[in-house]
Structure 1
Amino acid sequence: MTEVMNVKQLTMEDYPALTKMDTGIEDDYVVRIFDRLVQSDMHELFGLFQSDQMLAIGGYSLFGDGKFAMLGRLRSDRRFQTKGNATELLKPIMERLKMNRRVNWIGANTHLGNLPARRVLEKLGIEQGPVIHYLILTRPDLLSGHTPGSIWEPVHDLKKKYRLLTQLNKNELGTFPYECYYPLPFDYSLFTDEYLNDSSFYESPERSRFIIIKKDTKKYDYSHVKYFWNDHYEQPGFFETLLHHWNNHPDHIGCWIDFSDHGFKNIPELTAYDVQDPWILYGTWKTNRI
């Protein structure tokens, strides 16, 4: 008789079951920070079990005072991957989020070429969104084709930072890159005083463009660049401003830049970057959107 599978929220007591999974991921950060994830108010982790065997793990992170839920950290034991376990795990997690009145949007970010994950998200009713390219500028000496210019003017006033964001009338990214790997809908709830104070803003001389750069840590420290247009190489001083900021933060290993699909195609030469395979954002608004 086949044993019944069940989904439960994970605690530290489930750590041994996690370490016994065969995910094929070397130095998995979920294993390294498992204690922080299961004890956090911002993150939740769940496991799909058959008896004492953990077949899959996944969860979500909350942003914008709980308004946005990003699914992620999905791993399956390779010995059981063909059994639809990812869908079985995510179904009750989706129901949990739908019942949470604070959550207005549910999304997930995955590689464009990860067709199994994309099929799971579509089965869950999550809609396909924009393609995003994550590039890390690590070799500025190899930059070519950009327009040189002076360093843009830093913006220190908190009210002006907020005004620049709220008066933005065009966003060619289609998202707000809140963190590395975490693009979210562009929403004012994300622009808290703490977030803006921790972000460096630079405004172009003619006041038509601005750059946001914020430290983010994904194993390593990065200068995470948020720019909402596709004209990186046309704007005088854009790259000089990035390098100026990076020089002031030498502990950062590079400038992480989110490019839209169009913006990526505008890059004349990629040798200056570490290039990842493209990602695609999925997301759906709940009917109780406010």
Structure 2
Amino acid sequence: MNQVLHVKTLTIDDLSSLEAMETGIEDDYVVRIFKRLVTSKSHRLFGLFQDDRMLSVAGYSLFGKKQFAMLGRLRSDQRFIGKGHATYLLTAVINDLKASSHIRWLGANTHIGNLPARRVLAKIGLEQGPVSHYLTLKRPDFLTGHTKGHAWTAVNTLREKRHLLQSLKTNALGTFPYECYYPFPYDDAFFTNDYLEDSSFYISPDHQRFVIIKNDTKKHDYSHVKYFWDDHYHQPGFFETLLHHWDQNPGNTGCWIDFSPRGFKNIPDLTPYDVQEPWILYGQWVKTSN
């Protein structure tokens, strides 16, 4: 007799089922922060079960006034792979999101080389989007080929910060890198007063460029740089601005910079950076307006 598969929202009582899965992930952070994930209003976790055995787990996090959902934390029991469990579970998660009245967009971000995950994302109807290169500037003394100049001028008022974001005409990234690992469509929903208050804005002397730097923590502390053009190395004072912010936040391990594929190719020397494999964003609009 076939055992019936069922999906349910996870609670703290399901931790032992998660721990019993053989995912092949050593020191899985989902296990470590499980209680926070299942009790938070901005995160949800789902499990695919066969009787009492959890076969797969996945979830989502909400951003941008809870209008944008990022799928993630997908892992499956390696003893039962190749049976379509991930697709089954994510389809149920997406149906849950689409049933919500406030979700406008949903998506997922994965390594460009993670072909199994990309196949699953395509199967569940998410469209392939921009590729991002995540580099962390850790050895600025090795920087070469950049145009030197004075650090850019700080922008201090919320009105000026919001005006800069809303006046952007072109965006080489194709996304708004809200946090490290979390790029989203460029949308006003992310430009809340709290977010702008916590972000440092700097504008170039000719007022043609600006950069946003926000401290972020993903295991380590970073100065997360948001720059929407590909001319990092040609703008006088750009890197001096990054280093100025880093000097003011010495606890950060480096400057995390999101580069477009073209911006990445423009880097003359990768020695100053820690370089990750490129990531690719998949997504789908559920509603185009509030």
TM over 0.5: yes
Moved over 3 A (4+): 287-290
Supply the distance in 2 between the matched residues of 1:104 and 1:86 (Cα, whole angstroms): 23
The one-letter code matched in structure 1 to 2:253 is I
Which AA in structure 2 matches 1:64? G
Map of 2:196 onto structure 1: 196
Contact 2:103 2:287 in 1 (8 A): no
Which residue number in structure 1 is paired with residue 172 of structure 2? Answer: 172
Instruction: Determine the C-alpha separation between the residues in 2 that align with 1:261 and 1:253.
Output: 24
Verify the 8 A CA contact 2:55 2:85 in the aligned structure 1: yes
2:120, 2:200 → 1: CA distance? 38
Identity of aligned residues (%): 64
Offset, 1:125: 0.9
Task: State the SS of the aligned residue for 2:178.
Answer: strand
Mapping of 1:136-175 within 5 angstroms? 136-175=136-175
Q: In the aligned structure 2, how far is the partner of 1:142 from the partner of 1:51?
A: 57
The 3 A distance-change label for structure 1 pair 89 and 211 is same
2:47 and 2:86 mapped to 1: Cα distance? 10
Gaps of 5+ in 2: none
Residues 164-199 of structure 1: CA deviation (Å, up to 9, x unaligned): 000011111000000111000000011000000000
TM-score (norm 1): 0.98
Q: Tell me the secondary structure at the aligned position of residue 44 of structure 1.
A: strand
TM-score normalised by length of structure 2? 0.98
Report the equivalent of 2:68.
68
The answer to whether 1:54 aligns with 2:54 is yes
Shift of 1:287: 4.8
Which whole-Å CA distance do the structure 2 matches of 1:150 and 1:28 have between them?
A: 43
DSSP 3-state at the match of 1:186 = coil
Query: Is 1:279 paired with 2:279?
Result: yes
- Report how many aligned residue pairs link the two structures: 290
SS state of the match for residue 22, structure 2? coil
Structure 2 CA distance for aligned equivalents of residues 140 and 276 of structure 1: 18
Q: Structure 1, residues 205-225: CA drift from partner, whole Å, max 9, x if none?
A: 110000100011111111100
State the secondary structure of the residue aligned to 1:201.
Answer: strand
Distance 1:254 1:288, change over 3 A: closer
Alpha carbons 2:224, 2:256 under 8 Å: kept: yes
The alignment partner of 2:125 has SS state of coil
Code of the aligned partner of 1:255: C
Distance 1:288 1:76, change over 3 A: same
1:2 Cα deviation from its structure 2 partner: 2.4
CA-CA distance at 1:289 after TM superposition: 4.0
1:148-178 superposed Cα distances (whole Å, 9 cap, x missing partner): 1100001111100000000011111000000
Equivalents in 1 of 2:230, 2:278: separation in Å? 16
Structure 1 equivalent of residue 109 of structure 2? 109
After TM superposition, the structure 1 = structure 2 runs for residues 22-37 of structure 1, keeping only pairs within 5 Å, are 22-37=22-37
SS in 2 for 1:83: coil
For 1:217, the equivalent position in structure 2 comes to 217
Q: Distance in 1 between matches of 2:56 and 2:137?
A: 34
Which amino acid is the alignment partner of residue 150 of structure 1?
Answer: H
Q: Quote how far apart the aligned CAs of 1:133 are.
A: 0.6
1:141 positional shift: 1.3
Paired position in structure 2 for 1:40 = 40
Distance 1:173 1:220 in 2: 24
User: Hey, what does 1:267 align to over in structure 2?
Assistant: 267
Partner of 2:2: 2
Partner residue in 1 for 2:80:
80
3-state secondary structure, aligned to 1:107: strand
